[in-house]
Structure 1
Amino acid sequence: MKLESMPKNIMFALDIGTRSVVGVLSKKIGKDYVVVDFEVLEHPERAMFDGQIHDIQKVTDVVMTVVSELESRNGYKIERAAIAAAGRALKTERARSDAGIDVTVEIDKALVESVEMQAIQLAQSQLSKKTGKQSQYYCVGYSVVNYFLDDAMILNPLGHRGGELGVEIIATFLPHIVVDSLYSVVHKAGLEVMNLTLEPIAAMNVAIPKNLRLLNLALVDVGAGTSDIAISKEGTVVSYGMVSLAGDEITEKIAQTYLLDFNRAEKLKVELNQKERHEYMDILGLKHEITTEQVMRDIREVVRFIATQVAQNLLELNQKAPSAVFCIGGGSQIPFFTEDLAESLGLPMERVAIKAVDQLPEIVFESEVLKGPEFMTPIGIGVTAFEERDHDFIRVNVNETSIRLLNTKPLKVADALLLAGISARNLISERGDAMQITLNGEIKELKGDYGDPAKILLNGGLSALDEKISHKDQIVVIPATKGSIRSLELKELVNYEASISINGQKIKCIHAVEVNGVAREGIYKVMPGDVIETKGIKTVNDLAELMEIDLMYFHILNGDTPLRKQDSIRWGEKYYFKPIEKKAVETPVETPDGDSSAEMTVFVNEKPVEIPIGKIQPVFVDVFNYIDFDLTKPQGILNLRLNGERALYTDVLNPGDRIEINWKK
C-alpha cells in the first residue's frame, strides 16, 4: 500500500520508555489537544535500564514496529517525531562556591550571578569526578540553597558589603550520551527529530500547567526503575531529582514472596487495583489463589520505604514540603503509596493525588481513550512539541565558537557561557598582589586593589548573565582584569593628626616618621618591604618623659601602657596614686580619690550613656547592660564600632569613647 505524506497538522510523539514504547498521533484544534491514534508496545527483551538505551538496535526494532502499525492504520508516512530524554538520566549535584570581593563596593546582581555560575561549574566538575568521565553535561536547572556573606548565612546579599560572598546551589545536569543515543534510535528508525524535551517537563506541561507554577508544587513520576521528581515555584520548574526505587522493587518483592518469574509478578502487581482475588501459578507449576489484601500486607514495607525515600529527596530539593504533590506513572497506582508519601511529607492526604490522562480537560480522543497516569508523559511530549515546534536546540556563538544548547527552558547568557567552558573566575575581578610592610615593628599585609569587572556583549550591546538569548545570537566575553599592587601614600597608613588631651591641652602623638631609617613626609609612596617607624608619644613612659613628671606619681598606669589617640588625661596633687603592683592581673580604672562608685560617659549612637566604674575597667560588651538593644532577635549582620574602627567585645572603654551599634542589612 502506497502511503501518503503525513499531514502538516499531525504531530507524532514518541515516548521510548524502560518497559515499553508509546507512539501518539495528534493534532491541535483551538485549545484542545486531539489524540488521533496511539500504539503501545512492550520491549520483548530488556534493552533499556532506568531510561538509558543499552541496545540501540533492539530499541530501534520496537520503535519501527510502533511506527509501522500507526502508518498502516492511518495511511500516511510518519517522517518526524517529537521525543523526550528520560528524567531518570538527570544528575543532581550540590556545591558551594566562595569568592573574595571588594569590601568597599555594594554587591550587585551581576556579582551574585557570577558566583552562582562559579558554583554550577564546580558542581559540573564534581559530577565528572564521580562518574570518572569528562564528557559534557547540559545544565537543565539549578536552585540556590543558601547565600553567605563573610561566612555568615544571609537571605539576600544584594546591596550589602563584605569581603567574601558565597553561594550553595543544587544543580541538575543531563549527560550528552542520553541525547545522542535517542537521536541514534530515531534516525535508525528512518525518522527525523523535530523536537526534544525532558520527560519531567513534558509531564509538567500537562499535569501542572504554567498558570499553576507560581505555586510550590511537585510532580512525582513513579516508573519501573526510578521515581523522578520535578518541582515548580515562582512560575518555573526549579529543581529535578531522582530516586532509584520504583515499581520494579515491588515486582521483585512479589516474585520472591510467591515464587513467580518477573513477568507474572508484574501482571499480579498491575491487577492489584483491578481485582480482589488473584489466581497464579508459581515456578514449580503449583496453582494458588490469593487476595489483594494479603498481597498488600506482604509488600507493605516496600511501598512505605519507596515513599519515604521519595519524600526525603523531595524535601532535600525543595528545603520544605511543597504545597501539593501530583503523582503519575504506573507505579503511583500501587495501593497506599500516595498515603505513605503524604505522611512522610507531613501533608494532608488530599494534598497528594494521582493525576491521570482522562482527568485532563483539554485532551480529546478520536479513537480509544488512553486512561491512567502512565500515559501522562507521551501525551505531554506531544503537547510540548506543539508549543515548542522546531525549537529543540538553538545555536549561538560565544567568542566566535558555535555551541548548541538544549532548549528545555528559557535560556540565558549564563547557560551559553557554561556550555562554552567560560570560567566564572574570568567574570569576577581579582585583587592585585599583596605587599608587606613593617609598621612600628609589626608586619602588615596590604591587599592589592581590585581590577575591572568583566564585560559581556550580546549582539554588540552590554549584557548581563541573566539576559535571555535566542537562536544565532552573538556573545562576546571580555574577561575581568586582575588589580595592581595597592598604591598608597604614607599619610594613609599613619595618622599624623592623632592627639591626646592633657589637662585640656591637645598634644600630637606623632612628631616624625621614618621609612627605612630616613625621615619621610606624608606624600611618600609606600613600597613593598618598607620599614616604617613613627616617632612621638606611644606610652605612658613617653608622656612622663615629655612632661618631666615622675612616673611613680603618674596615676596608677604602668610605664609601658600604650596610649591611644583621643585619650584624655589629667593629673594633679589630689590624683596621685601609688604605682600599680606588678602582680595585678587586671588593670584597675583610674577613679578620683579611689571612689569606686564613680561613672564615666561614653556616646552610643551619638547619645551619652553613663557607665559605672568599679574595680575592673569596663569593656565594650558592658555597654549592652545600659542601652535598649535586643541581641536575641537578629535583623541582619551586627555592626560594632569603637571610635570609628571595628570593635571587639573585649575592647577596653575610656571616657568620651564614641560607640556605634546597629544591624547592617
Structure 2
Amino acid sequence: MEQLDKLREELFFSLDIGTRTVIGIAGVYTNEEKFKILAHSIREHKKRHMYDGQIHDIDGVTELVKEIKSDLERKLDISLKKVSIAAAGRSLKTCKVRVDKELGNNVEIKRNIVEVLELEAVQKAQEIINDNEEQNRFKYYNIGYTVINYYLNDNTMNKLEGHRGDKIGVEILATFLPQMVVEGLYTVISKSGLEVGNITLEPIAALSVAIKEELRLLNLALVDIGAGTSDIAITKDGKIIAYAMTSKAGDEITEAISKKYLLDFSTSEKLKIKLNSQEEHEFLDVVGVKHKLTTREIVASIYETIEDIANEIVEKIIEFNGKAPSAVFLIGGSSQMPGLRECIAEKLGLPKERVSIRDTSFIENLENLDSNLKGPDIITPIGIALESITRKYKNFIEITFNGEEVRLFNAERIKVSDILVLTGYNPRKLIPKLGDNFVYFVNGERRVLLGEDGVEAKIYVNDIIGNLNTPLYDGDVVRIVEATQGEKPKPFLSQCVSLEEKVTINGKQYNLVKEIRINGNIVKNNPILEEGDRIEIIKIENLEELLKDTDEISFVSNILINGEEADLKTPLNKGDEIVIRRSKKIILYVNGKEMVINHNKDKFIFVDIFDYIDFDLSRPRGNLILRINGKDAEYMAPLKDGDEIEIYWSK
C-alpha cells in the first residue's frame, strides 16, 4: 500500500484530447532525469464529439476520458486523481489593431499613459474578436500581445515616454484563447472524477519536445497537421511570436481518396494511413471493383489536394512570419502523408532537409517507448506529460480581482494589465480626470481657470501598492481603487486678477488699481467668485492721472520710466520704476517787488536771480550793488524764502 501511495504521488498522468482520438499517458520521472512511460491508452471518438479541437459533446468526451482512466488504473493498479491537459492551439485567435488617443496641448507622455493606451488596444482587439465570432460571444483570455509600432502626432516612434505631443497611438498584434475551450476541458475532467493538475497549450507542449529550447532563438515554424486543421506556431528570439491555423488538413486527403476511388470515409482513412508504410495497396470500392495501386500512383492521383494543403500552410507561415522561416518541423498524424513535406519545402523555397517530420525518436530522456508511441501524432501527448513534470510555470492561475475569482492563462508572465483585459475593466478609470473648468470674465474678456487634478488610481496586489506591470501569481488578490475627478475651482478674486499693480515713484510704491467691480458692484475685499462673474478693473493709466489729485503735477520737470525718458501721458504698467524730478518754489522780494520763482536746483543762489529778471549785466552803468536783507552780498550767496533783494547800478 505504501508503495502504491508513493507511485501515485510521483506519477504523471497526461491527456491529449484531440478531434479524432484521446491519448492518455502515465509515467514517472526517474533519478536519471528520464521520463519513464509506465502505461498508455488510446481511444478514438465513436461520434463527432469534437470539432477542430473544441469540445461540443461534453458527455461523449467524458465517457472516453473515463474509459482511458479506467484502462490506466487497471494497468497500473492504482487510482488516478490528477491529470495534465492542453487546450488546442487551433482555438487561438489573433488580431492586429491600432488605437489613437488625443492628449491635449503638448502633454508630457508618462509610462502610465502608454500602459493605458496599450491596454485600450488589447481591449479593442478583444471587442473585434468577439464581434467577428459567428457563435455565441465568448470571453477570451489574452495570452499576450506584441507592439508593432508607436505613434506620436501620427509619426512612427520606437518609444513614447518622455516625449511631448497632442496625440499618441499604438499598433499591436494580440493573441486570444476562448474561455469556453478551457472551461469545457475543466468540465470534462471534473465529470471524469479527475482534477486538473496542469494545463498548457498544445503548441507549447509540442514545442517543448519537438524543438529544443536552445533552438528557439532561431526563426522556426512548427506545423501540427491533424485531421481537421493544421496548426502553426512560429518561434523567434526564444519566444512563440505567432499562432495560426488553416482549415485544410488530413480529412481533406481522406475525402479526396474517397471521391477518387469510391470508398467510404473509414476505408479511405485506413488507406491514407497505410500510404506512409506500404508500397502496394489492394482494396474494393463501394461497387465491388478491386483496385491494386502503388503509393506513388495514389499520391499522384490526389496531388492537387496535397498541394492545396501545402499552399494554405505556406501562406499562413508567410502571413505571420513575413518571410520563409529558417526551418519547418512537421508533427501530427497527417504530416506523414507522402509528398506533403516536399511540397511545403518547395513552396517556401527551402531545401527539402529544412522541412522535417518530428517523431518521438527526437525526444531525449524517454524510456519505455513502444511501437504505438513513436509517430509524430504522439509528440503533443508526450509534450503535455513533460510540461507537467518541468512545471516551468503554471499556465492557468486563479486570481481574486475586486472580490471575484478569475482564471487567467499565463503564457509567459502574467501581470495586472492582463486581468484588466480579461475582465473588460475600463482603463480610463485608471487615469484621473481634471475637474470642470471655472469660467469668468475680466473687462469683457472670457478667461478659464483649469479644474483641479484628480487622484490617480491605486492598484493593490495582496494589499501592497502595485501597478499595471506588477507580476501576478496563483492565488493573488488584486484590488483597484478607481482614479477620481478633480474639484471645480472655487477661486477668490485674487486668484483671478491682481488686486494691486504696484509702480515705484522715487522709491515709493503706488497702486495702479483704482477700483474693482464684480457684476457692476464695487468690491473692497477679496470675495469668492461665482461661475460667470464679470470683473471690471479700473486702473490708473499714466502719471498725469496718478498725480492729478496733488499739486505736484505743476512742479514736474523731468520723468524717467525704467531708465527711459517719458512724460506725463506715457502709459504705466505693473512693476514700472519711475524717477520724477520736481521743480522748487522760492518767494523773493526783488527791488521791493514780490517774485515767485519755480526752479529745479538743489540750491538757489544770488546769481540765479538774473535768469528770472530783466537786468542787463553786459553794459555796466556804474558800480553793481548786490544786497540781501540790507547787507552786501556775493554772487554765490544762497537765498531763501522771504529774502529782500536789491540790485542796481550806483554812480
Taking structure 1 as the reference length, the TM-score comes to 0.67
Q: Please say which of residues 198-207 and 171-180 is displaced more in the overlay.
A: 171-180
Match of 2:388 among 385, 388, 393: 385
CA contact (8 A) 1:358 1:370 kept: no
Aligned to 2:9: 8
* 3-state SS in 1 of match to 2:41: strand
Contact 2:8 2:80 in 1 (8 A): no
Greater mean alpha carbon deviation, residues 98-107 or residues 216-225: 98-107
Q: 1:125 aligns with which of 118, 124, 127?
A: 127
| 1:453 CA drift (Å) | 4.6
Residue 479 of structure 1 deviates from its aligned partner by 3.2
1:28 matched to which residue of 2? 29
What residue in structure 1 maps to residue 269 of structure 2? 266
What amino acid is aligned across from residue 52 of structure 1 in structure 2?
Q
The 8 Å contact of residues 210 and 362 in structure 2, kept in 1 or not, is answered as: no
Report deviation, 1:136: 1.8
1:144 alignment partner, one of 138, 142, 147: 147
Distance of aligned partners of 1:289 and 1:414 in 2 relative to their CA distance in 1, 3 Å threshold:
same
Hey, what does 2:523 align to over in structure 1?
Answer: none
Question: How many angstroms apart in 2 are the aligned matches of 1:445 and 1:324?
Answer: 64
Residue pair 2:107, 2:166 contacting (<8 A) in 1 also: no
Note if 1:253 corresponds to 2:256. Answer: yes
Q: Distance in 1 between matches of 2:147 and 2:240?
A: 13
> Structure 1 325/449 Cα, relative in aligned 2: closer, same or farther at 3 Å?
farther
* Separation in structure 2 between the aligned mates of residue 528 and residue 342 of structure 1, nearest angstrom: 74
Native 8 Å contact 2:138 2:179 kept in 1: yes
Q: What SS does the corresponding residue of 1:332 show, helix, strand or coil?
A: helix
Instruction: Give the residue type in structure 2 aligned to 1:469.
Output: L
- Amino acid aligned to 1:270: I
Residues 324 and 487 of structure 1: CA distance in aligned 2, closer, same or farther (over 3 Å): farther
- Greater CA drift, 191-200 or 479-488: 479-488
Query: 1:223 Cα deviation (Å)?
Result: 0.9
The one-letter amino acid paired with 2:262 is L
Q: Is the 8 A contact 1:451 1:483 kept in 2?
A: yes
Provide, for residues 201-239 of structure 1, a one-character-per-residue CA deviation record: whole Å limited to 9, x for no partner: 111211234433333333221111111122333433333
In structure 2, what is the equivalent of residue 596 of structure 1? none
Per-residue Cα deviation, 1:623-651 (whole angstroms, up to 9, x for no partner) = xxxxxxxxxxxxxxxxxxxxxxxxxxxxx
Q: Which moved more, 1:368-377 or 1:378-387?
A: 368-377
Which of 170, 185, 193 is matched with 2:188 structurally?
185
Structure 1 partner of 2:425? 422
Post-superposition shift, 1:279?
A: 1.5
Aligned equivalents of 1:425, 1:316: Cα separation in 2: 34
- Paired residues for 1:305-454 under 5 Å: 305-365=308-368, 367-368=370-371, 370-388=373-391, 391=394, 393-429=396-432, 453-454=456-457
In the alignment, residue 277 of structure 1 is paired with which amino acid?
Answer: E
Aligned position for 1:216: 219
| 1:22 partner SS | strand
1:81 aligns to what? 83
2:142·2:175 contact (CA, 8 Å) conserved in 1? yes
Distance between the aligned counterparts of 2:86 and 2:125, measured in 1? 24
Q: Distance in 2 between matches of 1:392 and 1:155?
A: 31
Q: Distance in 1 between matches of 2:126 and 2:220?
A: 27
Match in the other structure for 2:116: 114
Question: Measured at CA, do residues 163 and 343 of structure 1 come closer, stay the same or move farther in structure 2, by a change above 3 Å?
Answer: farther
Q: State the 1:347 CA deviation.
A: 4.0
- For residues 289 and 445 of structure 1, the distance between their equivalents in structure 2, rounded to whole angstroms, comes to 92
Question: Aligned partners of 1:157 and 1:297: how far apart in 2?
Answer: 56
Structure-to-structure mapping, 1:593-608, within 5 angstroms: none
Alignment of structure 1 residues 235-634 onto 2, 5 Å: 235-365=238-368, 367-368=370-371, 370-388=373-391, 391=394, 393-429=396-432, 453-482=456-485
Q: Percent identity between the aligned chains?
A: 44
| Residue segments in structure 2 that go unaligned for 5+ positions in a row | 497-517, 521-527, 536-651
TM-score by length of 2: 0.69
Offset from partner CA, 1:302-339 (integer Å, 9 cap, x none): 22222222233233333444333322111222233333
1:194 aligns with 2:197: yes
Q: How does 1:47-66 map to 2 (within 5 A)?
A: 47-66=49-68
In structure 2, how many angstroms separate the alpha carbons of the residues matched to 1:279 and 1:19?
A: 25
- Greater CA deviation, 455-464 or 18-27? 455-464
- Distance across 1 between alignment mates of 2:257 and 2:433: 61
- Aligned 8 A contact 1:105 1:161 in 2: yes
Could you say if the C-alpha distance between residues 162 and 480 of structure 1 is closer, same or farther in structure 2, counting changes exceeding 3 Å? farther
2:20 maps to which residue?
Answer: 19
CA distance in 1, matches of 2:294, 2:179: 46
Assess, with a 3 A threshold, how the Cα gap between structure 1 residues 102 and 82 changes in structure 2: closer, same or farther: same
- The 1:442/1:369 distance shift into structure 2, 3 A limit, reads farther
The residue correspondences of 1:164-175 to structure 2 (distance < 5 A) are 164-175=167-178
Deviation at 1:377, TM superposition (A): 0.6
The answer to whether 1:99 aligns with 2:74 is no
Contact 2:148 2:173 in 1 (8 A): yes
Instruction: Give the letter aligned to residue 103 of structure 2.
Output: I
